[in-house]
């Protein structure tokens, strides 16, 4: 049994290392192929001790709904608000959301909302 537990521990360590490498590669891709827009923070899903934030944004004539990491502090106050998002122009699902940089520009918000509403009706 001790040999089996060592194998599990090594497997777990390799998994954690892979997650860190993927995260670093994703950030590097965003830095090398940057794009920026705004997103709407729509949902915070709690699961045990962790959480997932979900956002909607529109890039390259396509609506994206994706997970944006963990939920920010004071998440309840930030739901349905707009934030700056950086993404990779190679893979627009590869994103970084700045939950500290709320967008208040009504023209940008109206433009995003009109795209989200129009796309919603096309999808249903």
13-27, 80-94, 108-122: which is most confident: 80-94
Alpha helices by DSSP H, listed for the chain, are 2-32, 75-78, 106-123
Burial (CB < 10 A; 0-12, 13-18, 19+), residue 123, is: exposed
Half-sphere exposure in the Cβ direction for 116 (13 Å, CA)? 18
Task: Give the mean pLDDT of 67-78.
Answer: 86
Integer Cα distance of 51 and 45 in angstroms: 6
Q: What is the DSSP letter of 31?
A: H
User: What pLDDT, in 10s, does the model give residues 30-59?
Assistant: 788 888 899 999 989 888 888 889 999 988
Residue 86 pLDDT grade (very low, low, confident, very high; cuts 50, 70, 90): very high
Dihedral Cα 37, 38, 40, 41, nearest 10 deg: 90
Task: Give the mean pLDDT of 71-83.
Answer: 89
Predicted local confidence at residue 124, as pLDDT = 43
Higher pLDDT, 121 or 26: 26
Integer Cα distance of 123 and 79 in angstroms: 23
pTM to 2 decimals? 0.74
């Amino acid at each position: 049994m001790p040999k089996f537990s060592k194998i599990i521990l090594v497997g777990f360590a390799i998994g954690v290392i892979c997650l860190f490498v993927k995260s670093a590669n994703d950030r590097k891709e965003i830095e090398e192929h940057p794009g920026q827009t705004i997103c709407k923070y729509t949902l915070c899903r709690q699961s045990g001790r962790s959480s997932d934030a979900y956002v909607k944004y529109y890039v390259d004539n396509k609506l994206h709904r994706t997970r944006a990491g963990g939920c920010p502090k004071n998440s309840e106050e930030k739901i349905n608000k707009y934030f700056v998002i950086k993404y990779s122009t190679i893979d627009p699902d590869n994103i970084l959301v700045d939950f500290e940089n709320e967008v208040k520009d009504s023209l940008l918000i109206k433009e995003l909302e009109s795209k989200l509403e129009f796309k919603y009706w096309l999808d249903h």
